[in-house]
Each structure stands twice: as C-alpha cells, then as structure tokens.
Amino acid sequence: MKKISTLIAIFLLISFSARADYNTPGTGKRWNLDSLVVNSAGAVTFSGGEYFFTTNILVSQTDTLSIRNNATVKFSSLTLLNIFGTLIINPPDSVKFTTSDTAVKFVGIRLDSLSDASVMRKLIMENANSIRLYDCNALIDSCFLRNNNYYASGLVRGAIYLFRSNPVISNNRIVRNGYSAITSGANIASSPTIINNLIYANDNTNYNVAQINLGAGGTSPVIIRNNSIIGLYTNAGGIAFLPVGAIPSLIIENNIIKNNRYGIALLAGGINAYINNNIIDSNNIQGSPTLGGSGLNFAGGWTTSSAIVTRNTVRWNLWGVTIQNTAKPNLGNLSNPDTTDEGNNIIWGNGNTGKVFDLFNNTPDTIKAENNFWGTMNLDTIESHIFHKTDSTVLGFVDYLPIRGPVSFSGQEIKIDSYEILDAYPNPFNPVVNINYHLKYTGKYLLRVFDILGNETVTLYYGDAVPGDYKIKWDASAYPSGIYFLRLENGGNFYTKKLVLLK
C-alpha cells in the first residue's frame, strides 16, 4: 500500500495588526509618492533618487495611492503598506519595493475590503512577507515577487495570501519565495484566477507546502491556467487543495507542472474539478515513493466530489495517478453524456523501485480510465503498469478499455510516435540550457528556438539524423530574459517545449 504525502493545510491565520504611523486623511484625495513626502511629516522621505517608508503607511477609505512613474521604495524594518482605499501601481517600466539592507525585512502590502479597484502592475517586491488580500478582488499583473522570505507569528506563509478574495493574478514571475507562491486558508473561500505566470522554486525554506496551496473556493470558478509551476526544493509540491468546505468549480488546464514533490493533489471532498491538457512531468524531486511523487493524487472523502481528467500528459513521476480513500475521479468514460469526459490522457513512464506505476487505484471502487494512451499498445504491458483488483482482491478495477493509440494532441503539440524525449535542464536557465532528445526514426530534423511572439530566435540543428539520443547546448547570453519555445520538427511532426531564460 502506498503512502502519498499529505499537505499541511493552512487554516485561518490571525492577520498581522501593525500600528499605522501615518494615515492619509480620508478626504477622497489621490496621493502619489511625492505628495506623501510633502504631507506625511517624515513618514515618507526622498533622498538620492529613492523613496523611504520609515513607518507604517495606511491609505484610508476613499483615498488612492497612485504610483505611475518608475520608482524605488525602500521600507524600514517590519513596516507595512496598508490599503483601505485604492492602490494603483502602473509605471512605464517598474516600481521596486525593497529594503535598504537585505538582512532587514518588511511586512509587505495589505489590501482590505474596499480595495477592489486596486491594480498592481510591474511591481518588483522583495525581502518582505507577502501581499495579502482581505475581501478584495484586485489585479496583480506583470509583477516580479522574489525572495519574500520573512515570517513571524501573526503573518502568513505565502508570497500572495488570499482571504475571501477573488483576484486576477496574471503574467507574473513568482520566484524563490520562502513558502507558497499563492496560498489561502483551508476554510476561507477564495476564487482566484491564476493565469500565465512563471511560478518557480518557491518554498525555499523547504516547508511542506505546494507552490499553489489553496483551500475552499467561492461561488465563481477557481481557475489555474497556462502557468509554468517548476520546483527546486524537495518538500515543495506543485498544486494542492485541502479545503475545509467546498470548491464548487475548479479548472486546472494548460499548465506545465514539473520537478516538484508532486504534481496536482486534491485531498478532500466537495471538489468539482476539470483537469485538462496539463503536462505533469518529472515530479519526483524528493525521490521517496512513500512520501510523494504522484503526478495526480486524489484522496479524501469524495461523496460530493467530481473530477474529470482529460488530455493531460502524466509522465516520469514516481507515481502516475494515485487514488485513495473514497476518491473517484473520471479519467475517461465514453458512456458519459458529458463529452468532456473522453480520456485522451497520455500516462506512461511513471515508476519507482524499478517498477512502473502509471495508475494506482487504492480504493474499493471501479475507476473509469477509458480511451487513454499508456505508452504501448500491448494490453499485457498496460495491465502490468496499472495496480488494481487484479493485483489485490480488496481493490476496485480500473476500466482502461478501450485504449487510445498514439496520437497528436494539438493543445500540447505532442507526437508520441515520433519523439520519446525532448527535455531541457536547468529550466529556468541562465544563460546555458542543456537539451536532450531521442529520435525513433531516420530523417531530416530541424531544432529551433522561438520567442514568445513566434519569431525564430536561433536554429540549433538542421540536417539528417538516425535513431538515437542527442545532446546539444544553447547559450542564450545574447538574448533577453523571457519565455522561449524549443521546437523539434520532422516533416509534419513536431514537439515543442517551453524554456524560461531568467537572468
């Protein structure tokens, strides 16, 4: 019997209540940094081209703090920017919130219930605790949250913390923070929209949390879409939900989830989830199959839950899909009138201790897993890679017939019968990335890199090749930080991989 890692849930935390040494007067005024310097009696100062917050600042109800010019703001130790009105950060290039001494931390930003109109764009924040949203539906877009490692009693464990809040968190880099990238209380209903973010190497304290670590959901859907969630530390998972309460609608799709302790874990009942078109790859960083390593893990009491799992690629994890307690996800049910429940997953190459475990049904119930590709067309081999009633009479069956042959899925641009491997490491990288690929057929191949706009950046190889393993390096010293796509082509077949250059 397998013991899959259990997420330590973050329950309702007592919010940090710091004194506010300067309050704006609450007269409906729009403030900027320069007007705070003039009117705050030394709470905000300006020197050497930089602003200094020497005490706590509270922007009162009806007031707005607007920062539309490039600026560096340095916070004194343990100070807090508390927004009861509106915060607008939208500079041409960037606003940086930091400290004068990297050994000195500040508390961060708190947005309260009247801050729905708040927008944070192009903010760099470091050396703090978090951005905390309380009953607030702000926009956090194109920001860079890094090295926010400060934690003390009364604070939270997450670079972005949500309390009954439904923000849009988009196009950000959330990198190397002390705990989770995005978190909420287990019993606090929040429905964020998390899209197009690079979430990399968070939990550098190596605490037992996921990089996206959420609890109960609100009435609107929780959406996690088009993110790269890449791990570095051995206790950090990818995405985890352990709600006290329900998640009426959860959508996890088009993400790359790689090199974490586990990929996606739904660990309680009351979750209605649609898990679609994700690449869940090499989540084996801890290396212990008794403590984690599942690509997809479903556990908890599922009498009121539903999960449809379709068009995902689950590969090279310690376990592929693990199902525990009374969980009963659908990995493909062709008799279901819901046409989204069509299988089309690619589940192969997952294993530990010298054995392949593509699906482990540790429940007494039958699990539907029809119309998936298991890396082979040999039914005996597929059977040996699935652990269910044929292996233990106390377990339920996995209904994996009919199987799906090797096909191309346009969403991820994968041609299974042409390429077995296209991998790159480290990823993110700076400035050299190692590229490994395996070819199955003789032919003419083209290996190129494109930028995020689809412009060709460089051709790494063009010519004839025979079956075998190949290695190549790309030195991106001359190119700017950003997202690139590595594309291996052979005739009409191609395989793409996302690369992140992080200088």
Is residue 225 a contact partner of residue 198, using CB atoms and an 8 Å limit?
Answer: no
DSSP β-ladder status, 313-315 and 355-356:
unpaired
**Cα separation of 19 and 451, whole Å?**
47
Helix (H) or strand (E) holding 370: none
Lowest mean pLDDT among 57-61, 70-74, 496-500: 496-500
Nearest Cα neighbor of 293 from 225, 352, 220, 380 is: 352
User: Which token pair is 157?
Assistant: 């464990």
Distance CA 247, CA 268 (A): 10
- Written as six digits, the tokens of 165 are 């809040």
Backbone φ and ψ for 326, nearest 5 degrees, come out as -110, 20
- Hey, how many other C-beta atoms are within 10 angstroms of the C-beta on 201? 20
> Could you give the dihedral angle defined by the CA atoms of residues 207, 209, 211 and 217, in that order, rounded to the nearest 10 degrees?
-150
Query: What stretch of H or E contains 383?
Result: helix 379-384
As a whole number, the mean pLDDT across the chain is 89
CA dist., res. 384 & res. 490, Å (int): 33
- Phi/psi region, residue 95 (left: phi>0; alpha: psi -120 to 50; beta: rest), is beta
Q: Which run of H or E residues covers position 35?
A: helix 33-39
* Token code pair at residue 82: 């508390």
Q: Quick check: 230 pLDDT over 80?
A: yes
Domain 418-501 has CATH 3.40.50.11540: no
Report residue 38: phi and psi, to 5°.
-70, -35
This prediction has a pTM of 0.79
Are the beta carbons of 193 and 169 closer than 8 angstroms?
yes
Q: How far apart are CA 213 and CA 191, in angstroms?
A: 12
User: 287, 261 in Cβ contact below 8 A?
Assistant: no
Closest CA to 484 of 449, 447, 443: 449
pLDDT at residue 424, as a whole number: 84
Let me know: does 243 contact 268? Beta carbons within 8 Å.
yes
Contact residues for 35 (Cβ-Cβ < 8 A; gap 6+): none
Q: Place 502 in a pLDDT band, splitting at 50, 70 and 90.
A: confident
At residue 500, the pLDDT reads 83
> Is pLDDT at 422 greater than 80 in this prediction?
no
Does the N-terminal peptide bond of residue 431 adopt cis geometry, omega within 30 degrees of 0? yes
Give the pLDDT of residue 452: 67
Taking a C-beta distance cutoff of 8 angstroms, is the pair 475, 431 a contact? yes
Q: Is the pLDDT of residue 438 over 90?
A: no
